[in-house]
Amino acid sequence: MKLIVGLGNPGKKYQSTKHNIGFMCLDSYFRTNKHKFKKDKKFNGLVLKIGNTVFLKPHTFMNNSGQSIKSAIDFYNIELEDILVIYDDLDLPLGKTRLREQGSAGGHNGIKSIINHIKTDEFKRVRVGIDSNPLIETKNYVLGKFSKDELKIIEPTIEKVEKIISDFSNNQSFLNIMNNYN
């Protein structure tokens, strides 16, 4: 069983914000594949199970994402090597992706929460660059919406992440996925 998680914050207020790129990637993947997420209280999130893959959008807000993910891991008995988390990264240029098999939280509160709840940093991840702006406070920047120009850059990146999701859920080796998309 695989678990693919898109990080973000629930609610219309946060739709299309930079911090919700994980949600945006899953939403785009399923717009193409015509499936819908369902609210599931036991995971405090939106869930979709297709075959041997569980897709999760935690609704615990970013800083508590680990609670939702840990519940899904325990319920479905998912191995750590079968987890993929998609999230925003301020340290990467807009639209750039980086795939890693483990690593620190790098200041990302959602990733800190996951590490705290599953007690390891050894899970696969897709970091999507949202850039940063030293003139805007970080909280305001990540909770800001993408501009039209930024969306033109990020849309091809979301399409790339859709391919990564497909490859991962179809049991391709993560090393091969990293080689193809990094």
Residues tagged active-site? 19
Distance (Å, whole) CA 100 – CA 154: 20
Distance (Å, whole) CA 127 – CA 22: 9
Can you give 64-92 as a three-state secondary structure string? HHHHHHHHHHHHHCCCHHHEEEEEEECCC
Distance (Å, whole) CA 174 – CA 135: 37
Q: Order of strands across the sheet with 97-100?
A: 38-40, 45-50, 53-58, 2-6, 83-89, 124-129, 97-100
